Every structure is written in C-alpha cells, then in structure tokens.
Structure 1
C-alpha cells in the first residue's frame, strides 16, 4: 500500500502568531520556510518523518480572511491517554485554552483549540479506526 504525503496549505493573517500556536502549543517542528518567494513568506511545520505537514503563508500587501466557520478543523487522533493529556496540557500552558466545539461530537472525547486565524484543532483521545 502506498502512503501518500499531504501538505495542508493556507494563508494566515499573522505568521508569527500562528507559528507560535502550532509550535509551542501543538508541539510541531519547524521543517522549513521561505521569504519573499514571489511576494509570499511561509513556514512548514510538522513532525519529521510524518507523511504530512502544514504550510502557512503570508502574501505581502494582502490580508488573509479569518476562518469562514467554527467547523474548519484539523483533527489529531491520539490513542494513548497520557500523550493526549500531555498535548492538551501543553496547549493550555502555552496560553491556548480549549473552546467548545461547534459539533458536540468532538467534545465527548476531545479538546478543541482555536488558532489566531479562527481555524480549529481537535486533539481527540482515541484511535483512527477507518
């Protein structure tokens, strides 16, 4: 079976603040970045060796919109309770309190956090079963 690699890319209103949320809060690593690439600055975050990473960009002279909905989510499934608790604690200690999820399903076994652009991350305590 092939494992496809995935990049989730989106603009941000404030690169410094959003990088802080995903690095300090979520614990992702800085994997790379660029400055003034045809008017764009960007940062890639993820976990070394993982088949995904997140890319956040700022277009010079343009302000990106906030998330169009409270239900724009990135969901991280964390099967080990201790790791889930550690990640939740890290988010809170970094100054990012949980928010109530728009869809109550995520509150049953997870915690939702909102990034500086209004996009949300769910830390779900459970396994991906599909």
Structure 2
C-alpha cells in the first residue's frame, strides 16, 4: 500500500517554454523549481503551495518526446465549487486556451477539456471527487 500522499507527474517535452503558458498562466500553477544540464537534462516543476502534487517537464537533447499518443491522455482536476470552476475556466481561456471536445463525452457533461501544446489534455471537472 502506498502511504505517501504526494504525487509528481513527470513528462518529457521537446519545448519547456511552450508548456509554461498552459500550466502556469492557464492552470495558475507556480514554477516551484527548475534545473539545467542535470546529466544532459533540463527541467521545470510546477505546482501550488500546499498541494499534494506537482508536475515536472523535462527536455533531453537528442531525445525527441513527440506528442501525446491519444486524445484520451488526461489529467483531471475536480473543482466542486461552481465559482472556483468558473474562475479556473476563465483563466484558461484568458490565457488563450479554448476548450476542445473531449474524446470521452462524459467529461463534457460537467467539465471542460483543454489541450496543451503537446496534445496532452487537462479536464476541469465541475464535480466532487467520486470516491
């Protein structure tokens, strides 16, 4: 059983700078760390103070990352408060990211799906976490 409740999602990228407007400006995450030249790898971590998760994007010279393999590669944020959800979707759209139709229509019923520059998708779901 996993007892630690902090999650890091790590993904390779061909262009860290292209992802920053989506995750920083659109989702409202903060750059919480970065590094260059670590065994030939550059990276940036984004998160929110006190949140039990953060994202790490890394770029390695000579190792192309490419795009998401499918449109159903999702990160889902459950935002049950309607006002918080509205602010989050408005921030995404003000940063220049329009919603896209979800591959699975379920996510369009109570949420909005946004696609980052590499084709990975984030759903802002206006619902409680269903556990």
Checking the alignment, whether the CA contact within 8 Å between 1:32 and 1:45 is kept in structure 2 is yes
| DSSP 3-state at the match of 1:17 | helix
Pairwise CA distance, 1:3: 4.8
Pairwise CA distance, 1:129: 2.3
Q: Deviations over 1:21-72 (max 9, x none)?
A: 1000010011101011011100000111111100001002222110000000
Partner of 1:53: 54
Checking the alignment, whether the CA contact within 8 Å between 1:3 and 1:51 is kept in structure 2 is no
TM-score, structure 2 normalization = 0.95
| DSSP 3-state at the match of 1:19 | helix
Partner of 2:121: 120
The answer to whether residue 112 in structure 2 is matched with residue 111 in structure 1 is: yes
Unpaired runs of 5+ in structure 1? none
Which runs of at least 4 in structure 1 moved beyond 6 Å after TM superposition?
none
Pairwise CA distance, 1:4: 1.5
| Paired residues for 1:1-130 under 5 Å | 2-130=3-131
Unpaired runs of 5+ in structure 2? none
Q: Deviations over 1:96-129 (max 9, x none)?
A: 0000000000000000000000000000001102
Indicate the RMSD between aligned Cα atoms, in angstroms. 0.9
TM-score, structure 1 normalization = 0.96
Pairwise CA distance, 1:12: 1.1
Aligned residues between the structures: 129
